[in-house]
Amino acid sequence: MATLEVEGFEDLEDALQRISEIPFPILGEALDAMAETAAAKIREEGMSMGVRDPESEVHILDVIKPRTPKQTDSGGYQDITFSGSRRRHGKSTRNAEIAFVNEYGRRGQPARPFIGNAMTKNENTISAAGEKIIGDWIESEFQRN
């Protein structure tokens, strides 16, 4: 993990300026690393909570997919989705809807907050994946200058 040490205001200003100039491809790599880690941790938590549909060949834990990182004025973001749908009881249901019901529950079905639990339990692991990429870039930039 990168460490930022400054001695005066000018050093802090210079460091913050360099950080603000991180190119989006580097931020995109960091977002990808965090999204892949988050998706894996969500799968693990879902498995431990029994979020599986024995009536279906397609399970929501198998279709968790990070989308492409998007650039914004403030940096960027990346969605993680439950792609696709499946036929159950004669009708098509989106996997995202099934994940929602599992996460929050409904009448007669208690919540199994596998997404929220995974994110809370693993926030340091998830952020460390992105921090490593950004930290490596920052170190390489400071060594060049």
Name the pTM for this structure: 0.82
Percentage of the chain modeled with pLDDT above 70: 88
CB half-sphere exposure, 25, CA atoms < 13 A:
1
> What pLDDT, on a 0 to 100 scale, did the predictor assign at position 1?
43
Tell me: the pLDDT tens digits for 110-136?
999 999 999 999 999 999 999 999 889
Tell me: the pLDDT tens digits for 69-90?
999 887 889 999 999 888 877 8
Q: What is the DSSP string of 47-97?
A: HHTT---TT-SS-GGG-EEE---EEETTEEE--EEE--EEEETTEEEEHHH
Q: What does DSSP say about strands 85-88 and 91-94: parallel, antiparallel, or unpaired?
A: antiparallel
Say how far apart CA 116 and CA 53 lie, in whole Å. 20
Say how far apart CA 61 and CA 95 lie, in whole Å. 9
Q: For residue 34, give Cα distances in angstroms to 23, 28, 40, 102, 129.
A: 17, 10, 10, 23, 5
